[in-house]
A and B are shown apart, each in its own frame.
Chain A
Amino acid sequence: MLGQVLVNGLLQGGFYACIGVSFSIVFGIMKIINLAQGTQVILGAYITYAASHLLGLDPFFTLPLSIIGLFILGYMIQKYLINLVAKGGLIITSLLTFGLNLILINIALLIWKADFRGTNPWYMGMSFEVAGVTIPYVRLLIFVIAILFTIVLELFFRKTETGNSIRATALNPKAAQLMGIDIGKTYCLTFAISSALGGAMGTLFILAKPISPFTGGDFLIILFSVAILGGLGSIPGALLAGIVLGMVESFSTMFFGIAFQNVVLNLVFILILIFLPTGFMGKRFYG
């Protein structure tokens, strides 16, 4: 029983970690709170829904489509909207992403209506058992891909020249400019990567659960919690935070029932922040 709760929490946590990371990098690097990120995840899910129904593809194999689609969308949002008002500061950009969220929701409503829509891959109900713990294949797949993407992203930021130029821009935009780094482009790329990661998570989400245009809103509390608990902008921190949240959710559902899930989640969130105000991995030289 305990093993099952732990495994459920871990599997859910991997997904939370990855959507949290996608949200956290935009804040960590550009100081932009992307209130539309939940809905961008959902758009990724809709791409999978549409492609798998129209083309008859296995929903999992639509992953490249949601990644590319959201990458392009994210790049354009940053280039033609956010970059134009970025100097206005946090409140202006937050208003902008708030409005953007409403627009994206309405576009989804227009195309797909308010109904719940899902995919039904043939491996849907299948699972295997290890030491009395049931592990559904879909859940494991989601977990593995989410963790894989998170690790790849961290390596991208640490090991590649482009990744380092993005970190440099976050640390000191003026110095980055003096090195010849095009800050506007760097911001577009960062937002695009975040959106693409969100889109990929949308594909994973709709493998397991149906969605409506409003499902993205449910992610917002998770996005904030993971980003803040992890230490803003820290990917390893977000990974840890996602898994902690998954565990808390899994345990609270077991002990207090599903109704109290959000209450417990928020309580733990506040407690951790009291004792670790910079989150798990807040760093001295990170903004």
Chain B
Amino acid sequence: MTIEKHVLSILVDNKPGVLSRIVGLFSGRGYNIESLAVAETMDPLVSRITLVTKADAPVIEQIEKQLNKLINVIKVNDFTGAEYVQREMVLIKVTAKSEHRAEILRMVDIFRCKVVDVGIEHYIIETTGDQSKIDAILKLLKPIGIKEIVKTGIIALLRDQYTKK
């Protein structure tokens, strides 16, 4: 059985403890969470959780059913196989000694990132994109010296409301 990555978009009641029910379900049943992003939707009573997991077909079926079984889960959408847009934002604190500054800025330009903070010995770079773009820039900055990074986790939306796999 092949293990595949799945982007799950989960609409839940925006109530205390709901995230803990979701996370508890994953840890309690031994499912994996690659990334997780949560925020309120247009409807303040509803939150959207974008969760990325890796699982084979029977396990992903169980994950979706188990999620649906939670009383506070309104809807679970597995985007895998559907047309969707996904983005992740990363902040990268990169070592920026004077001899590297110009080179870093060139890369920022090529990748259409932004420098959002400048220090005596560092830049903080903001970049948004899909996995491959983020991986590419991290790879290029690594030899120069990455001090720290933070990722938002993937967020995703279906292109067309009505196309589901």
A and B bind: no
Residue positions of A touching B, CB distance < 8 A: none
